[in-house]
Amino acid sequence: MSFVSIQFAFFLPIVFALYWLLGRCRNLRWQNLLVVVASYVFYGWWDWHFLLLIAFTTLCSWLSGLAVEHTRRKHNEQGTRDHSQLVVATNIVLNLAILGLFKYYDFFVESFCSLFPSLSGDRLLLHLILPVGISFYTFQALSYSIDIYRRKLEPTHDAVAFFAYVSFFPQLVAGPIERATNLLPQFLGRRTFNEAQATDGLRQMLWGFFKKMVVADNCASYVNNVWSDIDAFPGSTLVVAAVLFAFQIYCDFSGYSDIAIGCAKLFGIRLMRNFRVPYFSRDIAEFWRRWHISLTTWFRDYLYIPLGGSRVSKSKVVRNTFIIFLVSGLWHGANWTFVGWGAYHALLFLPLILLGRNRKYLGEVAEGRLLPSWREAGQILLTFCLSSFGWILFRAESIGQAWHFVRQLFSPSLLSLPTPSIALVFIAIVVIVEWLQRSHEHGLDLTDVRHRWLRWIIYYAIILLILLFSAQQETFIYFQF
């Protein structure tokens, strides 16, 4: 079920009403059980067969926590060997094996056979359908096992609460990738309805719908048209397409995150912020602290730091940087374009981390000022251009197509007039609103606007834009991951 579907328009108010009705019960488990049932209905709307897969992943991770608790208790009481490391390792391998089978098996078979033309790999391919959001809920389940092993979290015996944690429908298929240390305790404690929080959730959802339905989908129409026949367009139009795709993927994914976080607020649940206006970053390191925060921090905490992070020799810092970006690229999809995209960002990031400048910009840009300085504006523009150039690899279906796009982009036709797009107007709205709101959680967090009538004018204006300019509905880009 998609957030931008008519089914969800009926689904959400029904679940919301039942949820708070059950919230009056003394037994918290009924409310959590509704979350599980609603989440499985939400997920099963695409293909109910994959419900068995998410249930298996969830069950394995929950049982691994209990097994770690059991083996540690026996170790402390009876002096037996502590098998907690083996338990967690088994759960990690099992879950990653499932992810690898569905997402990467055919890719690696095809890549291997391409090195040896005499081999025919067709009979080895499985042609499995990729379950929606498998990378998201797998990583969320794994964080629970790893945090228990690290003693950051106590195993829960409440299976219903744990199933609710893994399958919570607002963020199930495209994040944010939550940590058990943040989300699970919220399902173990009683929630009370907070009108102010729910109202803010509706505002955040409205902003997310605008970014997705008006900005991202209008950008998609232009971008898809250009990429379908690159040779038919001059380099100037390809530049516009590259810029539009940068905002398409941002407004599509951050729009989903806004809807998910706002929706969770309706149920008294706080999810982590997943984007912090990344296109206002002053270097590529700041960009990655602000883009898909839940994933970048996941890789930082569970891969980069265990490898030694930046507190090792320079050669190992280079190794760790490339590992984290290459794995991040591969996480996004089974295609060499994603690996190339990860390598590209590793090359951009490496000089900053080697020179110790990767944490230079931690605060808001132009803090306390309406406009940035000329230096800041130049840094923002350069960082945006570098990231947008990388998105060409992300959007391409092959390395060859990406190279063809770049060659055509830098052809003499670059100096011609580009084909205009109304999406540029909507992008301007997003840029202006998010610049003015850059220190707030989302674009429609208008707590600083004193006049209520002005706030309502803004809300109605956004609704009107959605009604008038919603483009042909496009699937959320990150559903494929």
Does residue 87 sit in helix, strand or coil? helix
Report the largest interatomic distance among the alpha carbons of the chain, rounded to a whole angstrom. 79
The residue among 185, 227, 47 whose CA lies nearest residue 129 is 47
Q: Is 175 left (phi over 0), alpha (psi -120 to 50) or beta?
A: left
Strand ranges (DSSP E) for 204-352?
none
Residues annotated as catalytic are: 332
Amino acid at 281: S
Coarse DSSP helix, strand, coil percentages of the chain, rounded to the nearest 5 percent: 70, 0, 30
DSSP state, 360? S
The residue among 202, 174, 270, 256 whose CA lies nearest residue 3 is 256
Hey, how many other C-beta atoms are within 10 angstroms of the C-beta on 152?
12
For residue 96, give both structure tokens.
Answer: 């990653």
CA 366 to chain centre: 27
Give the up-direction half-sphere exposure of residue 255: CA atoms within 13 A in the CB hemisphere: 27
The residue among 392, 71, 442 whose CA lies nearest residue 246 is 392
What are the distances in angstroms from CA 118 to CA 114, 115, 336, 379? 9, 9, 22, 50
d(CA 449, CA 454): 8
> How would DSSP label each residue in 304-336?
ITTTTTTSS-HHHHHHHHHHHHHHHHHHH-SSH
Hey, how many other C-beta atoms are within 10 angstroms of the C-beta on 104?
16
Q: Is 339 left (phi over 0), alpha (psi -120 to 50) or beta?
A: alpha
What are the distances in angstroms from CA 227 to CA 151, 212, 223, 245, 340? 49, 20, 6, 10, 19
What are the distances in angstroms from CA 296 to CA 81, 303, 325? 35, 10, 9
For residue 92, give both structure tokens.
Answer: 């990690």
Residue with the two structure tokens 């505002």: 203
Cβ atoms 22, 30 nearer than 8 A: yes
Q: Which secondary structure element, helix H or strand E, spans residue 166, and what is its range?
A: helix 159-167
DSSP state, 130? P
